[in-house]
Structures are given as structure tokens and as C-alpha cells.
Amino acid sequence: MAQERLTKGSLRRERFSTSVRRLRGFWALYKQSHIAMFGLFLVLAFIAVALAAPWVAPYDPRALVGKPFERPGEDHILGTDQVGRDIYSQLIWGSRISLMVGLFASVFSVAIGTAIGLVSGYLRGPIDTVLMRITDLFITLPSIPLMLILAAIIGRSVWNIILVIAVTGWTGTARMVRAQTLSIKERPYVEAARSVGARDSQIMFRHILPNIIPLIFANAIVGIVNAILAESGLSFLGLGDPTKPSWGLILRHANEVGAMATGRLWFIIPPGVCIMLIAIGFAFSSYSLDQIMNPRLRERRG
């Protein structure tokens, strides 16, 4: 027994130090890229703003604290909206909605996709066929119209938005995980595990899944970009939570009151820039991860 515990312990230590070494090597590559570091900086900056919102925002984002359409000035750095709410405060609080929807929707959709891809690729047979036809269906359905319809049916709230985005966004992950599972399943060590009597669930979670985790992670980050953009779009089209300040909602108001034709720049530019910067933060990070993890794309000159 003691012997066994010893080997198990040393094995665990061995595994741990391997992953630490891998992460270090990874970080070394990541650090070299300006694009990667800029992306990471943007992401961290927005997370900081979102966390500090109650202390950073000068006003309650929902309170009428000024006259309608005030230009940017001393009292209101970015002016006020059509009913006199402070736009700067709305922007700061809006970062919470964006990050929350982005993170949760992406985590949920990646979880759904991973489960379906793993089961489908590992079990094959009729289950695989059924799951893949369902995946085909969801790939086929145009996402924004489907989201609009779902959101219209289930009602307007932040969690419904997250649900709608997750339900429509898992297909890419499912296909990727399935393809990976198919190839990893054939590797000798999986064969070995099976021959010593490992259960299916054990093989799936202990032998196959850990190998796909880096790819799933990269997928999740792309998912965040898509979810953030989808949230802004749904809010812009009027399907977001009308009581929560979100960037898409500000733009909806700007569009409704015709801020473009009257040249009210402060109403239009800042919310869009915020959406763009946070999405760029995640997009740059994911692009760099992809370049590092896909060795074929790594620097090489022929």
C-alpha cells in the first residue's frame, strides 16, 4: 500500500511539474507577441473597470442627473443621453453586462459543445449520427434571427440572453472536439487503458479530455468575442434587459433618437469603441493562442 501511495504521489508531482513547465514555455512564447500582450492588457483593464464600477462611476447610470443631450463637459465627461442620464457612468456599468454575458455564454456553449463532441466522437454509431445531424441543424440556422426569435419568445433578461447565445453558439466546439476525440481515441495509450479495463467515462475524461483542453480554451475565448458582439447586437435590436445599462442599449437609444443625423458624436462613438476594444482584447488573445498552439502556423520561413 505504502509503495503504491508513494508512486501515485510521485506521479502526481511529476505531472504537476510537467504542466508547470509547459505553461512557462507557453508564457514565454506568448510574451514575445505584441498583439498577444496588448490583447491581455485590454482584457485585464476592462475586468478592472467592471469590478471597480461602483467606485469609478460618478453617477448612478439609471438616474436622471442632467438635461437631455448635454454635450460633454465638466459635469458629464461624455455628455448625457436623451433623458439626461450620464453616458460615462452607463459605459462603466455596461462593462459588467458585456463581460458577464461574454464569459457565461461562452462557458456554457463550450460546455455543451465539449459534451456533445466527446460523446459523439467516442461512442460513434447511431448516437453520433443523431448528434451530428443536430449539430448540422444548429450550424445551418442563422444565429441572429434565431436569437431574435428565441429572445422574443422567452423574454428579456440578461440570463435569457446568455441562454440564447449559448444555445446557438456551441456547434464549432462540438465539431472540433469530435474530430480531436476521433483521432486521440486511436492512440496507443487509449488502447492500453481500454485493455486494462478502464471504463468509457474514465477514458473520456482522464485520457481524451485533458489532451483537448488547450484547444477548448482557445475556442472559449473566441466564444467570448462572439458572445459579446451578439449581446451588443441583441441589445441594439431591443431584446436586451431594458433596465440594465449595456453598450448595445446606449447605441439603440442613439439610433432611435437619430443621433447620427444630428452629429451627437459622444452618444455614438464611445459605446462602440468600448465594445470594439473589449472584443479586440479577446480576439487578439485568441489569435495569439491559436498561433502558438497550432505549430503549423508558427513562424517559419521557406
Partner 1 sequence: MGCFDMGFKEYVGKRTLHGVVTIFLAVTLNFILFRIMPGDPTRAVSGDPRVDTATRLALIAKFGLDRPLFEQYFIYLYNLLRGELGISFVQIGRPVIDIILGRKMVNTIILMGSSMFIAFILGIVAGVFAAWRRGTKIDIFFIVFSLATYSMPVFWFGMLLLLFFSYYINIFPIAGTITPGVVHANFFEYAKDYLHHLMAPMITLGVSFFGGYFLFMRDTILDVFTEDYMLTARAKGLSNRNILFKHAMRNALLPMVSLMGVHITFLISGATMTETVFSWDGLGRLIYDSVRNNDYPVLQGIFLLMAVLVVVASILADVVNAFLDPRIKEAVD
Only one of the segments 75-83, 98-106, 184-192, 294-302 lies at the binding site for partner 1 (rule: CB under 8 A); that segment is: 294-302
Q: Is 128 in contact with 121 (CB distance < 8 Å)? A: yes
Nearest residue to 212 (alpha-carbon basis) of 242, 236, 239, 190: 190
Q: How far is the CB of 144 from partner 1 (least distance, A)?
A: 3
78 near partner 1, judged by CB under 8 A: no
Q: And the C-alpha cell for 28? A: 514565454
Instruction: Kindly give, in sequence order, each residue whose CB lies less than 8 Å from that of residue 270, ignoring residues fewer than 6 positions away.
Output: 78, 87, 88, 91
146 near partner 1, judged by CB under 8 A: yes
By CB under 8 A, the residues from 199 to 238 that bind partner 1 are 225, 229, 232-233, 236-238
Judged by beta carbon, residue 212 or residue 279, the one nearer partner 1 is: 279
* Cell 449595456 found at: 246
Judged by beta carbon, residue 59 or residue 289, the one nearer partner 1 is: 289
Q: How far is the CB of 11 from partner 1 (least distance, A)?
A: 36
Angstrom distance (rounded) from CA 268 to CA 278: 17
How many beta carbons lie within 10 A of that of residue 197, not counting itself? 7
Q: How far is the CB of 132 from partner 1 (least distance, A)?
A: 9
Only one of the segments 12-20, 141-149, 183-191, 200-208 lies at the binding site for partner 1 (rule: CB under 8 A); that segment is: 141-149
179 near partner 1, judged by CB under 8 A: no
Instruction: Kindly give, in sequence order, each residue whose CB lies less than 8 Å from that of residue 51, ignoring residues fewer than 6 positions away.
Output: none
Question: For partner 1, what does the binding mask look like between residues 244 and 283, x meaning CB under 8 A?
Answer: ----x--x--xx---xxxxx-x--xx-xx--xx--xx-xx
* Cell 456547434 found at: 171
Judged by beta carbon, residue 59 or residue 81, the one nearer partner 1 is: 81
Q: How far is the CB of 81 from partner 1 (least distance, A)?
A: 15
Angstrom distance (rounded) from CA 228 to CA 295: 29
Q: Out of 150, 176, 227, 292, name the contact with partner 1 by CB under 8 A.
A: 150
First-to-last alpha carbon distance for the chain, in angstroms, is: 56
Q: Is 282 in contact with 229 (CB distance < 8 Å)? A: no
Judged by beta carbon, residue 178 or residue 207, the one nearer partner 1 is: 178
Instruction: Kindly give, in sequence order, each residue whose CB lies less than 8 Å from that of residue 240, ignoring residues fewer than 6 positions away.
Output: 97, 156, 158, 161, 231, 234, 246, 248, 249
Q: Is 260 in contact with 272 (CB distance < 8 Å)? A: no
127 near partner 1, judged by CB under 8 A: no
Binding-site ranges for partner 1 (CB under 8 A): 35, 133-134, 136-137, 139-146, 148-150, 152-154, 225, 229, 232-233, 236-239, 248, 251, 254-255, 259-263, 265, 268-269, 271-272, 275-276, 279-280, 282-284, 287, 296-297, 299-302
